[in-house]
Amino acid sequence: MEELRAKNREEEIRQNDYIKMTAEKVRRIADLRGHALKACVVTFGCQMNARDSEKLKGILAESGFLMTEEEQDADLVICNTCTVRENADQHVYGRLGRLTGLKKKKPDLIVGLCGCMMQEDHVVRKIRKSYPVVDLIFGTHNLYTFPELLYRRLTEGKRVVELWDGTDMIVENLPVRRKYSFKSGVNIMFGCDNFCSYCIVPYVRGRERSRNPADILDEIGRLAGDGVKEIMLLGQNVNSYGKKLDGAITFSELLTKVCGVPGIERVRFMTSHPKDLSDDLIRVIAENEKICRHIHLPVQSGSSRILKNMNRHYTREEYLGLVDRIREAVPDISLTTDIIVGFPGETEEDFLDTMSLVEKVGFDSAFTFIYSRRTGTPAARMEDQIPDDVVHSRFDRLLDLVKQTGEERSSRFTGQMKDVLVEDVNREPGYVSGRISENITVHLPGDESDIGKIIPVRLESCRGFYYFGTRQS
């Protein structure tokens, strides 16, 4: 363990050295071209990818690039890809088409690809063959070697491809450029061991590995020192945090420690697997006001038969029982979920079980997905894939129900006082937007100077999934 931590530290130093060398090189190229070099990072997918992109941006900024949101202004574009559903892949190929056009006008443009899609052999083969626009490819396991790979691309002048099947390294102390000054994601674990039968994640993100708690707390201490008030602990399955660490720490213990870091006022976490959410965690949430009153608890289906075929390790009844225990301990908590429609073999009866579960639970909101067949997963090989028209009609019915039950549930705070952490100025002039602990958005009168403040607000009226509020101080 200690040996591995020392190895991680050594690697941090090595990669930080590459950043310095790249900065020198970038300065020279900028002098030659007569303008500063700009970089654009395009992110697809989940919160883990969003956090990874903050790392890519931090490394690029430290390497001397100015950051831009507009790819047509950029000298370097990195796409951080997702492969959880097929349409995510299609977006990336579409983007590469556009970048090919851009490179015709700007031959010096550098295009890089990283993230989950790059961990699939068939994708990389296709890109190598059919997308000469791509100059740099790396994957999820070696993201921390980006400084080195970028340096190589700039000095060698030819395509650099480096992909690993896995790693035991966790190298986190590299520059990060956070989207928000007052809140931040923090990775507590990587990978997933659950192998839900539809899901590609365990194949592209590798085996589950928990980060050392001391490293996590150090990072959060530094973030707090930097003005961060809200932390989102990130992992594919945070409830199993620590199971493989020698020092035996549970997720509830980690949460309690994170809440104890001076300056941290709110703690969120994502994602919870229902099979691993312990009564101990429910107790810790109930007892600690800093832990936000929101659990994202993907159910995926309301049919025990489908849940079994999905390899989820809980039944409909167990899920409903868990919801009851959570609500008993924290009655007003927000519950959100993910649901897949059209898993192989899903009958009308199975689907009606999902509909009735949604009605019973009354989620605050739900992300609904059409089942996507991912090559290499057990579900892709199952017989009885459901025809598109059946899936689409079920999807529309579910969406209507989710909207209706979500709106009913979300309005429960009307007239109450709640603390809002202000995140952004609103498109509507004179208004800002933020979130309450329950993760519901509130719009209130204010200006830019409110961003990052926690403000007491009276929730006046609920419009669907958000509120309008008035300030109380």
Binding site for ligand SF4 (CB under 6 A): 192, 194-196, 199, 201-202, 236-237, 273
Tokens of 70: 């507009």
Decide: 42 and 78 in contact? Cβ < 8 Å.
yes
Rounded to a whole number of angstroms, the minimum distance from the CB of residue 195 to ligand SF4 is 6
Q: Closer CB to ligand SF4, residue 233 or residue 455?
A: 233
Number of H helices, E strands in the chain: 13, 19
By the rule CB under 6 A, 319 interacts with ligand 5AD: no
Q: Order across the sheet with 38-43: list the strands.
A: 66-67, 38-43, 76-81, 110-115, 136-138, 160-162
Q: Closer CB to ligand SF4, residue 151 or residue 371?
A: 371
Q: How far is CA 297 from the centre of its chain?
A: 14
Please identify which residue in 198, 351, 395, 467 interacts with ligand 5AD, judged by CB under 6 A. Answer: 198
DSSP assignment letter at 293: S
Q: Closer CB to ligand 5AD, residue 173 or residue 385?
A: 385
Count of all residues that appear for the chain in the document:
473
Please identify which residue in 131, 180, 369, 466 interacts with ligand 5AD, judged by CB under 6 A. Answer: 369
Rounded to a whole number of angstroms, the minimum distance from the CB of residue 13 to ligand 5AD is 35
Q: Looking at this protein, which amino acid is placed at residue 298? A: P
Rounded to a whole number of angstroms, the minimum distance from the CB of residue 339 to ligand SF4 is 12
Q: Closer CB to ligand 5AD, residue 16 or residue 315?
A: 315
Query: Other CB atoms closer than 10 Å to residue 386's CB: what's the count?
Result: 18
By the rule CB under 6 A, 85 interacts with ligand 5AD: yes
Half-sphere exposure of 120 (CA within 13 A, CB side): 20
By the rule CB under 6 A, 300 interacts with ligand 5AD: yes
φ, ψ at 144 (rounded to 5°):
-70, -10
Decide: 182 and 421 in contact? Cβ < 8 Å.
yes
- Using the contact rule CB under 6 A, the part of the chain among 20-28, 56-64, 256-264, 364-372 near ligand 5AD is 364-372
Could you give the CA distance from residue 45 to residue 273 in angstroms, rounded to a whole number? 19
By the rule CB under 6 A, 374 interacts with ligand 5AD: yes
Pinpoint the alpha helices (H) of 106-145: 121-130
φ, ψ at 359 (rounded to 5°):
-65, -45
By the rule CB under 6 A, 338 interacts with ligand 5AD: yes
Rounded to a whole number of angstroms, the minimum distance from the CB of residue 328 to ligand SF4 is 25
Rounded to a whole number of angstroms, the minimum distance from the CB of residue 328 to ligand 5AD is 25
Rounded to a whole number of angstroms, the minimum distance from the CB of residue 467 to ligand SF4 is 30
Q: Closer CB to ligand 5AD, residue 182 or residue 198?
A: 198
By the rule CB under 6 A, 340 interacts with ligand 5AD: yes
Rounded to a whole number of angstroms, the minimum distance from the CB of residue 223 to ligand SF4 is 25
Angle at CA 54, nearest 5°, toward 48 and 60?
140
Decide: 197 and 310 in contact? Cβ < 8 Å.
yes
By the rule CB under 6 A, 203 interacts with ligand 5AD: no
By the rule CB under 6 A, 296 interacts with ligand 5AD: no
φ, ψ at 128 (rounded to 5°):
-55, -40
By the rule CB under 6 A, 391 interacts with ligand 5AD: no
Per CB under 6 A, residues contacting ligand 5AD are 84-85, 198-199, 298, 300, 338, 340, 369, 371-372, 374
